[in-house]
Structure 1
């Protein structure tokens, strides 16, 4: 059975981005897969009052205008639903995710669509999927007390039901960057498709 890989990049750098290079290399490990591509640097709308109103209107009651407001979000959710594997390339900017990555999260974390509330708390609806996160930083060590990107992405993935999450780290590149990139590339070489 052919796998579907959703490849997402969020670095604003088109050239020279470590997270983009790593995410591309990870995606290429899945030979023969159907690849869906989403480059968040191309622009991601921010949620606003109209979006909230449309999102919380029952689907059957939405106006054409509300459907149009949700169109990008619906497309992004459909990509996640279709994917067996989600590959995300993200740098750490100012200790957290990029603005575009945060906007994408806001658009896909939808009650009743990608998660639901239950008597025991929120329950993710996108189960049975795998996520591989290529994360790069100039000075922030991933998984440290000042990393608000990696831990946040892991939490969000789990929140929407994706608990099989693996990180490929090229962090603190300002201190031994070539060596850390080589280590990250070696880690990618060991990823099972």
Structure 2
């Protein structure tokens, strides 16, 4: 990791004040000593992929029309945020065993061929390299890493696919069963990693 600490914080919880994943992110951000923090709150809406978006994305960059450039403008901005960051902090709950739709929409906007990954003779290669990622996760009943957790493995995979292999997961999981202890334990994990 470089000496500068530019952090991109992605918050995916629909909850604001009582979000466990956001509380974990707050605690981690407070410990990172970041020089710059860009906050992307996904409750502010990320567009979903449309047919026009797909057509614009697969058009040759040099030949894109002004309309196609406009369609891709937000996606381009999100990709630029990702490349500018040294550290990626994603806070997310698990909804129905997976990630929230808003986080999937963000992933669809940044996981772009020829931008954040490309194909080689040996298969796909991620282009977003040299970054550290933290996944701060919360769940009511799903145990992180269990066979019913379709969120953490997917997030680790997609980050690796675009080139981010240094991923730490901290989870306040199974809060329905564990109560406040789940968040307290996860906050201790945050305190112990930095």
Please give the TM-score of this superposition, normalised by the length of structure 2: 0.97
Alignment RMSD: 0.8
Per-residue deviation, residues 4-49 of structure 1 (Å, max 9, x unmatched): 0000100011120000111121111122421011000110100010
Aligned to 2:106: 104
1:179 is aligned, of 178, 181, 184, to 181
SS of corresponding position for 1:190: helix
Aligned to 1:118: 120
Per-residue deviation, residues 59-94 of structure 1 (Å, max 9, x unmatched): 111111111100111011001100000000000000
Deviation, 1:2, is: 2.4
Gaps spanning 5+ residues in structure 2: where?
A: none
Moved more, 24-33 or 91-100: 24-33
Distance (whole Å) between structure 2 residues aligned to residue 96 and residue 4 of structure 1 = 28
1:12 is aligned, of 14, 18, 27, to 14
Aligned to 1:83: 85
Distance (whole Å) between structure 1 residues aligned to residue 34 and residue 86 of structure 2 = 13
- How many residue pairs align between the two structures? 192
Aligned to 2:171: 169
Higher helix share: 2
SS of corresponding position for 1:162: coil
Gaps spanning 5+ residues in structure 1: where?
A: none
Aligned to 1:152: 154
Conserved in 2, the CA contact under 8 Å of 1:29 and 1:191? no
1:43 is aligned, of 19, 35, 45, to 45
Aligned to 2:26: 24
